[in-house]
């Protein structure tokens, strides 16, 4: 063991793509880092990369003990391994060498309850624990991710200086990191970030489908449209990469690569957790749910090909090929439909976070979350600044839809939004995300819903009782008897 100044400031275990890039980012920001991986070739690879990328202060270790002991106290070790059992195994391996006050930070897409369980177990060993959402993929990890640390505040304070430098920096808004809150709140917020990411990707895919299938736009036109959209209110990482995708030629044959990619969406599970949590908390998240369902249906490739055959004489192909479409108008309408749908999707995600925050007593700050999502992460967008401002105006805003600015934006776009959705429905082109968003808006904005009938039905067959609009209390009616009498 060397003296304190030869010790590393921090350690990182788990050197797959994200871990390797985050370690180099930390080193580049001036924090000497020790790295460890079970497969030792990854350690050597990382050290070599650090050398090539400017002699960054990265020290590699092949055994867990010397790795842990190479870090200055209180030790902080970021773990970036696959969520679930591998995290438990890594903690087990490392914690035997750690001492009171040392801390483990799990940077994976972990289920929040696992973090809470681990935080408790670690505290019994006098060790600290953080569950930190890390967003931004490989590029973000290397040059500035959005970081969502939750758990021990003391542990956060021990490494705040590192996180503030390592995170993406957004001018006028600061580093994309903040202490999220207690327990598993960092993982929960990252999970909802991913749910929103699913929603965004689905809505963009629908915009593409309408423009391609109804508007007959070519890939090069689609590239231009998305590139233009990326100059305005839709400016975001996902719109930017979508524009790029339409410009990439196939390297294995003719045409564009996007047309050769199999139409089956994979997933790792965070979007599903988001929808499960929404149901658990009775929060409507139809746009995010629609994006998840679309992934499920996309997976049924063979069945869909078969069904396409069964319904090939359904008459819709005629509509698609014969209908007149004003391209410029369609493009403008789709842009507006996409933006309005996006507002509804974010409203759902934010309300889900708030519901969980209330349930768990996390006291999460929605505006601050919007701020740290402005840079580094996959859903980064200029639009998030508007969300931040909406919560700055009113931290207790019941729903983004009723914020004065967003309500105006929705109203300005609703005619175009309805035109796009109607056109898609009539053409047999699916826009489940846009439809779900519109239905969310149309349901939320109505003072009276047909829920009175559902309540009546429930009371009719199950004596579940109902409330009245003109008197308080629970009422039950013998509907069946009254109906029988009225039939006599």
**Contact region for ligand 6PG (CB under 6 A) — 130-138, 230-238, 275-283, 397-405?**
130-138
* Residue whose CB is less far from ligand 6PG, 291 or 427: 291
How far is residue 376 from each of residues 39, 94, 134, 177, measured CA to CA in Å? 29, 29, 9, 10
Distance of alpha carbon 82 from alpha carbon 17, whole angstroms: 11
Q: What is the largest CA-CA distance in the chain?
A: 97
Shortest gap between Cβ of 289 and ligand 6PG (angstroms)? Answer: 15
CA angle 89–92–95, rounded 5-degree value: 145
By CB under 6 A, the count of residues binding ligand 6PG is 13
* Chain position whose Cβ is nearest to ligand 6PG: 135
**Any idea which residue has 């109804």 for tokens?**
214
Quick one: which of 135, 152, 274, 357 contacts ligand 6PG (CB under 6 A)? 135
Quick one: which of 57, 101, 137, 367 contacts ligand 6PG (CB under 6 A)? 137
Q: Which two tokens stand for residue 480?
A: 């069946």
Name the pairing type of β-strands 58-61 and 76-79: unpaired
Q: H or E segment at 186?
A: helix 185-209
Of 222, 214, 218, 419, the residue nearest 317 (C-alpha): 214
* Residue whose CB is less far from ligand 6PG, 42 or 272: 272
* Residue whose CB is less far from ligand 6PG, 137 or 428: 137
* Residue whose CB is less far from ligand 6PG, 95 or 194: 194
Shortest gap between Cβ of 43 and ligand 6PG (angstroms)? Answer: 24
**Residue 308 exposed, middle or buried by CB count within 10 Å (0-12, 13-18, 19+):** exposed
Of 41, 46, 42, 13, the residue nearest 28 (C-alpha): 46
- Is 376 an interacting residue with respect to ligand 6PG (CB under 6 A)? no
Quick one: which of 32, 136, 150, 286 contacts ligand 6PG (CB under 6 A)? 136
Shortest gap between Cβ of 307 and ligand 6PG (angstroms)? Answer: 25
Quick one: which of 21, 95, 194, 236 contacts ligand 6PG (CB under 6 A)? 194
**Contact region for ligand 6PG (CB under 6 A) — 50-58, 134-142, 315-323, 469-477?**
134-142
* Residue whose CB is less far from ligand 6PG, 266 or 447: 266
What is the sign of the dihedral through the CA atoms of 455, 456, 457 and 460? positive
Helical pair 112-124 and 185-209, crossing angle rounded to 10 deg? 160
CA angle 237–108–30, rounded 5-degree value: 75
Distance of alpha carbon 154 from alpha carbon 74, whole angstroms: 11
Shortest gap between Cβ of 146 and ligand 6PG (angstroms)? Answer: 8
CA angle 322–224–340, rounded 5-degree value: 75
Shortest gap between Cβ of 126 and ligand 6PG (angstroms)? Answer: 31
**Contact region for ligand 6PG (CB under 6 A) — 131-139, 350-358, 441-449, 470-478?**
131-139
Quick one: which of 197, 206, 333, 459 contacts ligand 6PG (CB under 6 A)? 197
Helical pair 479-487 and 451-462, crossing angle rounded to 10 deg? 90
Q: Assess contact for 391 and 397: CB atoms under 8 A.
A: yes
Quick one: which of 20, 34, 95, 109 contacts ligand 6PG (CB under 6 A)? 109
**Any idea which residue has 């930390």 for tokens?**
26
Distance of alpha carbon 394 from alpha carbon 437, whole angstroms: 23
Task: Kindly give, in sequence order, each residue whose CB lies less than 8 Å from that of residue 467, ignoring residues fewer than 6 positions away.
Answer: 455, 473, 474, 475
Q: Which two tokens stand for residue 112?
A: 């929040």
Q: Assess contact for 20 and 46: CB atoms under 8 A.
A: yes
Residues 236-275 that bind ligand 6PG (CB under 6 A): 266-268, 270-271
Site string for ligand 6PG, 386-415 (x = CB under 6 A): ------------------------------
**Contact region for ligand 6PG (CB under 6 A) — 19-27, 135-143, 161-169, 418-426?**
135-143
Shortest gap between Cβ of 18 and ligand 6PG (angstroms)? Answer: 8
Residues 57-96 that bind ligand 6PG (CB under 6 A): none
- Is 377 an interacting residue with respect to ligand 6PG (CB under 6 A)? yes
Shortest gap between Cβ of 291 and ligand 6PG (angstroms)? Answer: 10
Shortest gap between Cβ of 136 and ligand 6PG (angstroms)? Answer: 5
Query: Which are the catalytic amino acids?
Result: 190, 197
Residues forming contacts to ligand 6PG in the complex (CB under 6 A) are 109, 135-137, 194, 197, 266-268, 270-271, 377-378
């Amino acid at each position: 063991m060397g003296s304190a100044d030869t010790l590393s400031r921090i350690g990182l275990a788990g050197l797959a793509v994200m871990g390797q890039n985050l370690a180099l980012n930390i080193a580049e920001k001036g924090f000497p880092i020790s790295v460890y991986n079970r497969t030792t070739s990854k350690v050597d690879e990382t050290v070599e990369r650090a050398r090539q990328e400017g002699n960054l202060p990265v020290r590699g270790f092949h055994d867990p003990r010397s790795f842990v002991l190479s870090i200055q106290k209180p030790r902080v070790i970021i773990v970036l391994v696959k969520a679930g059992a591998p995290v438990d195994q890594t903690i087990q391996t490392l914690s035997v060498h750690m001492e009171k006050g040392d801390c483990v930070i799990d940077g994976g897409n972990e289920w929040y309850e696992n973090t809470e369980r681990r935080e408790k177990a670690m505290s019994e060993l006098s060790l600290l624990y953080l569950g930190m959402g890390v967003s931004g993929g490989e590029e973000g990890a290397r040059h500035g991710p959005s970081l969502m640390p939750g758990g021990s505040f003391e542990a956060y304070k021990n490494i705040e200086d590192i996180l503030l430098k390592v995170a993406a920096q957004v001018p006028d808004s600061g580093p994309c990191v903040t202490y999220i809150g207690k327990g598993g709140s960092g993982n929960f917020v990252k999970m909802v970030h991913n749910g929103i990411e699913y929603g965004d990707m689905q809505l963009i895919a629908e915009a593409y489908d309408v423009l391609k299938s109804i508007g007959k736009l070519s890939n090069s036109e689609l590239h231009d449209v998305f590139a233009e959209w990326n100059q305005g209110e839709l400016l975001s990482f996902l719109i930017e990469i979508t524009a790029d995708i339409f410009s990439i030629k196939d390297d294995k044959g003719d045409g564009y690569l996007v047309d050769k990619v199999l139409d089956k969406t994979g997933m790792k599970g965070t979007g599903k957790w988001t929808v499960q949590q929404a149901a658990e908390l009775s929060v409507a998240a139809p746009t995010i749910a629609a994006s998840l369902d679309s992934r499920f249906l996309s997976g049924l490739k063979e069945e869909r090909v078969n069904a396409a055959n069964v319904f090939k004489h359904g008459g819709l192909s005629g509509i698609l090929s014969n209908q007149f479409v004003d391209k410029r108008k369609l493009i403008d309408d789709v842009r507006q439909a996409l933006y309005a749908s996006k507002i509804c999707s974010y409203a759902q995600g934010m309300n889900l976070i708030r519901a969980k925050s209330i349930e768990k007593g996390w006291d999460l700050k929605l505006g601050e979350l919007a701020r740290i999502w402005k840079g580094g992460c996959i859903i980064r967008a200029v639009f998030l600044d508007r969300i931040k401002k909406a919560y700055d105006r009113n931290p207790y805003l019941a729903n983004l839809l009723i914020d004065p600015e967003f309500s105006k934006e929705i109203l300005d776009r609703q005619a175009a939004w309805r035109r796009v959705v109607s056109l898609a429905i009539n053409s047999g082109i699916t826009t489940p995300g846009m439809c779900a968003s519109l239905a969310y808006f149309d349901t939320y904005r109505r003072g009276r819903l047909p829920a009175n009938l559902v309540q009546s039905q429930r009371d009719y067959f199950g004596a579940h009782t109902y409330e009245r609009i003109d008197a308080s209390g629970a009422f039950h009616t013998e509907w069946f008897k009254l109906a029988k009498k009225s039939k006599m």
